[in-house]
């Protein structure tokens, strides 16, 4: 996947690749000329004649600033004069006009060096984000006609088998053909613990085979792998700006013309109030004012801070779809969670089968046959328990009743399989004692008559309780919403310690609960699987998908994707948002504070152009280094 091109006229990228020293030889030569001239003039008192001196400094000036001058000219032709390029051009040409050649060159040289360093930092941040995920191999071994051929991953078709040697990365999403294999999934999930897969289980692009040669059947094209789609998502994330970034962009558009006008007034107004007015002196002060007012420290360091936040999150197995959601997470005061797959593992096992008026094996066979048409974790538990018994069954007219279960025919018999609401909906009487059962129950009716139930239990995730405790310590309210029955929900709620828990909810009921919380003025993050809970995810301030690598719909609907199933990553996402916002506002305070001080000194005639450019470039570099710190933070 290629990175999207950057429009040069919109950004600070007015060189080639910022880290390539050879592309900056004009700037380096200009710096050398400036250093030699200053050494000659101030070190040895060797001052050339006025015309040679002007020619030398003008050469150095053009070498350092020709790209800035070109950008300023092109923008001025479009009547866009309130920008940093035009501002720097006016300030430096003004310095030449009053004979301050060395200072004019110095302003342009150090401004260009600052831009160069900014380019390096921004490009490095973007590359680090891409490198965290762009772990797809360049070649793949595909098995064709009994022989292994090495081809590009894009040439592999769906259904073909690929061979992955120990230490190699899986190139495409697929299904394990080998009996067993162990993979390192750290690059995808941030987890160092090896993940063992059995034959038939899903293997994802980016996983690293650890111990034995494995064969995988491709289930998606290279361009359609979940990793490719996530890469695209992270690339696009840098384009989705936070409110702070948008504010700074709008601020710069207002701020620049204001300081431009103030600089002009600083030159003109004293003529009417100062008795010993000297135009050259006040023009110099106006030029100092222009140089220090350049907003580049803000314009570059702020997005760089958010790039760093996205990078830090990616290192921790969390994908933000935009820097705006980093800001959103800092304001969350209520985390609403689904139960299955979020607080519980979603790995269900059949505990008991109770038949009523039907053979137990026949009950399991009929239930498994209709559940085979569903991918819900509960359905998978039933089909896994049934083994091969439903094979050959004729299943038809299967209809999913949202929030209730399944309705269909098996070998010509009408079968209902779901929760007790499903049976009530179709007027089937059942043993009401089932409603008091604390575990999940699949209730079954055959040909309009209650036929029994299958008892299934789920396991709570190890870090679920710790996550809820940490949210509470941060002053964040926790709420659990589930379609499962209230007794099951209450049991899980007591174990993990959530503040509120609601069961027996249909998808539309979940929406109503979240709407009620929003009406209370709560800022909500909803955590779910991103498929059945899509309406709630869209309604929440931040929609978080758990285990997003396993679901295409998750990647599409969620604002934030947690690449493994750990609830603890919810807390991590909030912490990363707060770290990022803190450093961004440190940079804003630093830049604005120093600028105001030096602007006042410049207006008072205390600060020179040298001090102005050093302060401007210095603040920018300090802000950049502060932003880069984000990626080195541990959370």
CA–CA dist 133, 314 (Å, integer): 8
Instruction: Return d(Cα 339, Cα 251) in angstroms, integer.
Output: 44
The tokens describing 599, both together, are 């602007």
Distance CA 421, CA 405 (A): 9
Tell me if 191 sits within 8 A of 155, measured CB to CB: no
Angle at 633 between CA 629 and CA 635, to 5 degrees: 155
Apex 68 CA angle, 66 and 74, nearest 5: 100
Query: Which secondary structure element, helix H or strand E, spans residue 524, and what is its range?
Result: strand 524-528
Report CA 84 to chain centroid distance, whole Å.
Answer: 30
Q: Can you list the alpha helix ranges (DSSP code H) found in 11-49?
A: 25-38
- Token representation of residue 138: 């360049």
Residue for token pair 């152009």:
609
**Structure tokens belonging to residue 405:** 């279960």
- The span from the CA of 343 to the CA of 460, in Å, is 6
CA dist 317 and 580 (Å) reads 17
Pair of tokens at residue 424: 């009530």
Q: 417 pairs with which residues across the strands?
A: 406, 444
Question: Taking the CB of residue 69, how many other CB atoms lie within 10 A of it?
Answer: 19
Cα separation, 379 vs 377, whole angstroms: 5
Q: Are 417 and 444 in contact (CB under 8 A)?
A: yes
Q: How far apart are CA 608 and CA 285, in angstroms?
A: 8
The whole-angstrom separation of Cα 206 and Cα 173 is 9
The phi, psi pair for 7, rounded to 5°, reads -75, 120
Tell me the helix, strand and coil percentages in the chain, rounded to 5. Answer: 55, 15, 30
Residue ranges of alpha helices (H) inside 185-278 are 186-189, 226-237, 243-268, 270-273
Radius of gyration of the chain (CA): 32
Q: CB burial class (10 A; 0-12, 13-18, 19+) of residue 278?
A: exposed
**70 carries an active-site annotation:** no
Alpha-carbon span 341 to 526, nearest angstrom: 13
**Which of 562, 522, 569, 568 minimizes the C-alpha distance to 546?**
562
Are the C-beta atoms of residues 546 and 527 closer than 8 Å to each other? Answer: yes
- Among residues 385, 379, 378, the alpha carbon closest in space to that of 361 is found at 385
Residue 42 is given by DSSP the state I
Instruction: Kindly give the pairing relationship between strand 147-151 and strand 174-176.
Output: unpaired
CB 174 within 8 Å of CB 220: yes
Q: Please tell me which residue in 141, 173, 338, 533 is annotated as part of the active site.
A: 338
Sheet of 349-355: strands edge to edge? 349-355, 449-457, 440-446, 413-418, 405-410, 395-401
Residues 214 and 165: their CA atoms lie apart, in Å, by: 6
Question: Catalytic positions, please?
Answer: 338
């Amino acid at each position: 996947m290629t990175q999207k091109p950057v429009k040069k006229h919109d950004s600070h990228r007015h060189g080639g690749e910022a880290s390539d020293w050879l592309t900056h030889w004009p700037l380096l030569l200009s710096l050398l000329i400036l250093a030699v001239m200053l050494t000659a003039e101030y070190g040895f008192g060797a001052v050339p004649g006025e015309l040679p001196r002007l020619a030398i400094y003008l050469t150095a000036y053009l070498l350092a600033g020709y790209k800035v001058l070109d950008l300023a000219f092109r923008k001025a032709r479009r009547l866009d004069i309130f920008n940093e390029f035009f501002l720097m051009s006016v300030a430096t040409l003004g310095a030449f006009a009053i004979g301050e050649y060395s200072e004019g060159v110095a302003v342009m040289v150090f401004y260009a060096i600052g831009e160069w360093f900014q380019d390096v930092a921004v490009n490095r941040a973007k590359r680090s984000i891409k490198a965290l995920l762009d772990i797809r191999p360049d070649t793949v071994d595909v098995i064709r006609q009994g022989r292994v051929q090495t081809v590009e991953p894009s040439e592999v078709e769906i259904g073909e088998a690929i061979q992955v040697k120990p230490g190699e990365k899986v190139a495409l999403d697929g299904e394990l053909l080998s009996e067993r294999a162990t993979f390192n999934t750290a690059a995808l999930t941030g987890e160092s613990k090896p993940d063992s897969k059995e034959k038939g289980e899903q293997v994802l692009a980016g996983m690293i085979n650890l111990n034995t040669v494995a064969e995988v059947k491709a289930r998606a094209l290279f361009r359609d792998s979940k990793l490719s789609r996530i890469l695209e998502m992270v690339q696009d994330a840098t384009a989705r700006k936070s409110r702070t970034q948008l504010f700074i962009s709008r601020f710069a558009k207002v701020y620049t013309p204001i300081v431009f006008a103030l600089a002009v007034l600083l030159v003109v107004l004293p003529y009417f109030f100062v008795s010993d007015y000297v135009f050259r002196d006040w023009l110099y002060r106006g030029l100092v004012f222009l140089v220090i007012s350049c907003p580049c420290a803000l314009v570059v360091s702020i997005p760089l801070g958010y790039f760093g936040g996205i990078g830090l999150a990616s290192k921790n197995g969390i994908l933000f779809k935009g820097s705006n959601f980093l800001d959103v997470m800092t304001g969350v005061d209520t985390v609403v969670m689904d139960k299955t797959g979020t607080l519980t593992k979603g790995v269900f096992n059949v505990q008991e089968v109770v038949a009523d008026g039907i053979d137990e094996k026949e009950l399991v066979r009929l239930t498994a046959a209709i559940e085979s048409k569903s991918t819900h974790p509960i359905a998978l538990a039933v089909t896994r328990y049934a083994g091969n018994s439903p094979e050959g069954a004729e299943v038809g007219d299967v209809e999913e009743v949202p929030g209730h279960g399944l309705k269909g025919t098996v070998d010509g018999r009408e079968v209902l399989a779901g929760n007790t609401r499903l049976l009530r909906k179709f007027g089937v009487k059942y043993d009401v004692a089932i409603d008091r059962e604390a575990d999940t129950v699949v209730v079954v009716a055959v040909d309009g008559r209650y036929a029994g139930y299958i008892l299934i239990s789920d396991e709570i995730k190890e870090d679920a309780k710790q996550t809820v405790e940490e949210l509470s310590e941060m002053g964040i309210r926790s709420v659990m919403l589930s379609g499962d029955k209230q007794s099951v929900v209450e049991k899980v709620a007591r174990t993990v310690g959530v503040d509120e828990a609601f069961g027996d909810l249909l998808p539309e009921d979940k929406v109503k609960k979240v709407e009620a919380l929003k009406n209370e003025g709560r800022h909500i993050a909803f955590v779910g699987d991103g498929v059945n809970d899509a309406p709630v995810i869209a309604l929440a301030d931040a929609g978080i998908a758990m285990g997003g690598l396993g679901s295409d719909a998750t990647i599409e609907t969620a604002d934030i994707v947690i690449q493994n199933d750990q609830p603890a990553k919810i807390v991590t996402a909030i912490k990363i948002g707060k770290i990022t916002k803190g450093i961004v506002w440190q940079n804003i305070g630093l830049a604005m504070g120093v600028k105001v001080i030096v602007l006042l000194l410049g207006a008072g005639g205390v600060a020179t152009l040298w001090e102005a450019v050093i302060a401007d470039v210095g603040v920018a570099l300090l802000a950049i280094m502060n932003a880069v710190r984000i990626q080195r933070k541990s959370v």
